[in-house]
Amino acid sequence: CHASTRQSIRALRRARADGVNATAEAAPHHLLLADEDIPADDGFYKMNPPLRSRDDVEAMVEGLCDGTLCAIATDNAPHTAAEKDCSFRDAAFGVITNEHTFALLYTSFVLAGRFRLDQLVHWLTDGPSDAYQLGPAGCIRVGGPADLAAFDLTREVTIDPERFAGMGRNTPFARRRVIGDCVLTMVDGQLVHRAAPPSSSLQEPTTDGKDQA
């Protein structure tokens, strides 16, 4: 879980070469942030595993592209403001990324030409499903569960923790501009989220199951 170093990638490659059924994933923050990106003594950047070097970040990206890593896992860990808005020494471990993982990775990697869109979708959906042999999860098929998320690949927004649907606000990506906002989510065929009309911030979703414009 949560591979974050080049040494981990090397160990996984050796294991797979020896025929071991070894799987691993990377979290969005270990694909996007290095220790040198920590701006100050800021508890919002405290996570476990911690942020590594820029070389380790590159190793995570390489590991996805060559198949060493099979999935991207958000490692979502919400905390109260008191637990995170403090120094590294006192802060709790963890960040939240569930509400903006796709947009962050789409903007940083797909639009930059490093990942293909189908690769990113695979690592977030049927990649983890295949690793745990969960059957045809993570795909759209006739008769399958309608667990769907729709993204507007042209919609640019600013990550605004104050507008998150969840109670956690502890993200190091606040105020970052991203493209690829989630505009609709369904669970088992029921509408649970529809984004408000475009504005400069990530919108607070509706969760009453009604089809709102």
**Calpha distance 167→80 (Å, rounded):** 8
Q: 3-state DSSP call for residue 177?
A: strand
Nearest to 61 by CA among 123, 150, 121, 152: 123
CA–CA distance, 150 with 170 (Å, rounded to integer): 25
Q: In terms of Cα–Cα distance, which of 99, 117, 125 is closest to 181?
A: 99
33-41 LR contacts (CB < 8 Å, sep 24+):
33/57, 33/172, 41/87, 41/88
Dist CA 24 CA 63 (whole Å): 10
How far, in Å, CA of 184 to CA of 186, rounded? 7
DSSP 95: B
State yes or no: is 75 an active-site residue.
yes
CA distance 42 to 39: 7
- Selecting among 56, 75, 160, 181, the annotated active-site residue is 75
Q: Tell me the catalytic residues.
A: 75
